[in-house]
C-alpha cells in the first residue's frame, strides 16, 4: 500500500459523504499531523509506502468520518490563531469566530504597558487564555472551567505552547464566591438555544459536548448574568468584558446589560453576524 493508494482508499470510501476537496484535506491532515509525513511527499513521492499501522489508522478514520466525527477529534488536534491545541470530545473545537474575539482583545491591549489581570471564563481547550498569555506577555492570565478532564487538557495545551496560565476549577453558578480582582474578562460561554438543534450539523450534535454548547431556552442569558454579577464586584474601574454571543440574543442581552453600568460596543463576525460585545465598566 502506498500514499497514493491510501488517498484513493479515502476518496472511494468517503465520496458519498464529503466532497473531494474535504476528503483530500482530511487525508493530508492525517499524513502530516498523525503520520508525520511531509505533506509534499504525497505529490512528490506518491509511491512511498504506508505502514500497516498507518493503514489501520486510515480504516478507523474512515469509519469515524462516516459517523460524522470531526477531523479534529480524529487527529486529536485543532488549530487556533497561531496555536496547535490538543482536543478531545470533552471540549468544544475552537471556532474562527472565537479567534476574532481574541483579535479584539489583542488589538486593544497590544500596546498597553501595564500589567493586567485577565480571566477566561469557560476555558475549554484553553484557546482564549493561551492565545492571550502568548500574545499579551506582560499580563497574568487566569482561566476556569468546571470539569477536571477539561482543565487537564487545557493545562497540557498551555505547556505545549510554552505559556503560563493559572487554570482552576470553578462552576460559573458559583462565581459570586470568587474573590479575584480582574481588569479584563473574556468569555465564550454556552449560548446556543436547544431549539436551534434542528438546524445544526450532526458532527456537532453527536460529537461535541452539549454542556459546552447549549443553554436552557427558558434562561439563555444565565451565564452572561452570572458573569455580569461577578464583574459588578470584581472588575476593576474601567475594566472590560469581551463576550462571544448568540446573534439571536443580542436584543435581550442589551436589555440585561442596561441594568449594569457598562458602555457597550458590538462587532460582527466573518459571517456577518453580531457575535461579539465589548463592555467597559463606567463606575
Ligand X SMILES: C[S@@+](CC[C@H](N)C(=O)[O-])C[C@H]1O[C@@H](n2cnc3c(N)ncnc32)[C@H](O)[C@@H]1O
Q: Which of residues 197-216 bind ligand X (CB under 6 A)?
A: 211-212
Q: Based on the shown chain and the rule CB under 6 A, indicate whether residue 145 belongs to the binding site for ligand X.
A: yes
Q: Which of residues 79-138 bind ligand X (CB under 6 A)?
A: 91-92, 94, 98, 122-125, 127-128
Q: Based on the shown chain and the rule CB under 6 A, indicate whether residue 173 belongs to the binding site for ligand X.
A: yes
* Residue closer to ligand X (CB basis): 31 or 92: 92
* Residue closer to ligand X (CB basis): 58 or 212: 212
Q: Are 186 and 119 in contact (CB under 8 A)?
A: yes
Cα–Cα distance measured from residue 171 to residue 147, given in angstroms and rounded to the nearest whole number: 8
Query: CB under 6 A: which stretch of 41-49, 55-63, 166-174, 250-258 binds ligand X?
Result: 166-174
Q: Based on the shown chain and the rule CB under 6 A, indicate whether residue 146 belongs to the binding site for ligand X.
A: yes
* Residue closer to ligand X (CB basis): 22 or 148: 148
- Running DSSP on this structure, what letter comes out for residue 180? -
Q: Which cell is 99 given?
A: 479567534
Backbone phi, psi, residue 60, to 5°: -65, -40
Which segments within the chain are labelled E, that is strand?
77-80, 83-86, 117-121, 140-145, 166-169, 182-187, 192-193, 214-215, 235-244, 262-268, 274-281
Task: Assign residue 223 a region (left: φ > 0; alpha: ψ between -120 and 50; beta: otherwise).
Answer: alpha
Q: Based on the shown chain and the rule CB under 6 A, indicate whether residue 163 belongs to the binding site for ligand X.
A: no
Number of Cα atoms under 13 Å in the Cβ half of residue 252 = 14
* Residue closer to ligand X (CB basis): 49 or 210: 210
| Residue 18, SS3 per DSSP | coil
CB of 101 to ligand X, least distance (A): 8
* Residue closer to ligand X (CB basis): 74 or 151: 151
Among 171, 216, 217, 229, the residue binding ligand X under the rule CB under 6 A is: 171
Report the relative pairing of strands 274-281 and 262-268 from DSSP bridges: antiparallel
CB of 248 to ligand X, least distance (A): 15
Query: CB under 6 A: which stretch of 41-49, 144-152, 199-207, 254-262 binds ligand X?
Result: 144-152
Q: Which of residues 34-73 bind ligand X (CB under 6 A)?
A: none
Map 63-101 to HEC letters. HHHHCCCCHHHHHCEEEECCEEEECCCCCCCCCHHHHHH
Residues that bind ligand X (CB under 6 A): 91-92, 94, 98, 122-125, 127-128, 145-147, 150, 171-173, 188-190, 211-212
Amino acid at each position: 500500500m502506498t500514499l497514493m493508494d491510501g488517498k484513493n482508499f479515502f476518496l472511494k470510501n468517503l465520496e458519498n459523504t464529503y466532497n473531494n476537496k474535504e476528503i483530500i484535506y482530511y487525508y493530508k491532515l492525517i499524513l502530516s499531523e498523525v503520520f508525520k509525513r511531509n505533506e509534499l511527499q504525497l505529490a512528490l513521492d506518491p509511491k512511498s509506502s504506508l505502514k500497516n499501522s498507518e493503514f489501520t489508522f486510515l480504516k478507523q478514520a474512515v469509519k469515524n468520518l462516516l459517523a460524522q466525527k470531526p477531523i479534529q477529534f480524529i487527529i486529536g488536534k485543532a488549530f487556533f490563531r497561531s496555536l496547535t491545541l490538543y482536543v478531545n470530545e470533552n471540549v468544544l473545537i475552537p471556532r474562527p469566530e472565537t479567534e476574532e474575539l481574541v483579535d479584539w482583545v489583542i488589538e486593544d491591549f497590544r500596546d498597553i504597558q501595564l500589567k493586567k489581570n485577565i480571566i477566561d471564563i469557560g476555558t475549554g481547550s484553553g484557546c482564549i487564555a493561551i492565545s492571550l498569555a502568548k500574545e499579551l506577555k506582560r499580563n497574568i492570565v487566569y482561566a476556569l472551567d468546571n470539569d477536571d478532564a477539561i482543565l487537564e487538557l487545557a493545562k497540557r495545551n498551555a505547556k505545549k505552547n510554552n505559556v503560563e496560565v493559572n487554570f482552576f476549577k470553578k462552576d460559573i453558578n458559583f462565581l459570586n464566591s470568587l474573590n479575584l480582582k480582574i481588569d479584563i474578562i473574556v468569555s465564550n460561554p454556552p449560548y446556543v438555544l436547544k431549539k436551534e438543534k434542528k438546524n445544526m450539523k450532526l458532527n456537532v450534535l453527536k460529537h461535541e459536548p452539549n454542556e459546552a454548547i447549549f443553554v436552557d431556552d427558558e434562561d439563555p442569558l444565565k451565564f452572561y448574568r452570572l458573569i455580569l454579577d461577578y464583574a459588578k464586584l470584581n472588575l476593576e474601574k474601567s475594566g472590560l468584558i469581551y463576550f462571544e454571543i448568540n446573534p439571536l440574543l443580542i436584543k435581550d442581552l442589551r436589555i440585561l446589560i442596561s441594568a449594569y453600568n457598562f458602555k457597550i460596543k458590538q462587532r460582527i463576525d466573518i459571517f456577518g453576524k453580531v457575535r461579539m460585545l465589548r463592555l467597559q465598566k463606567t463606575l
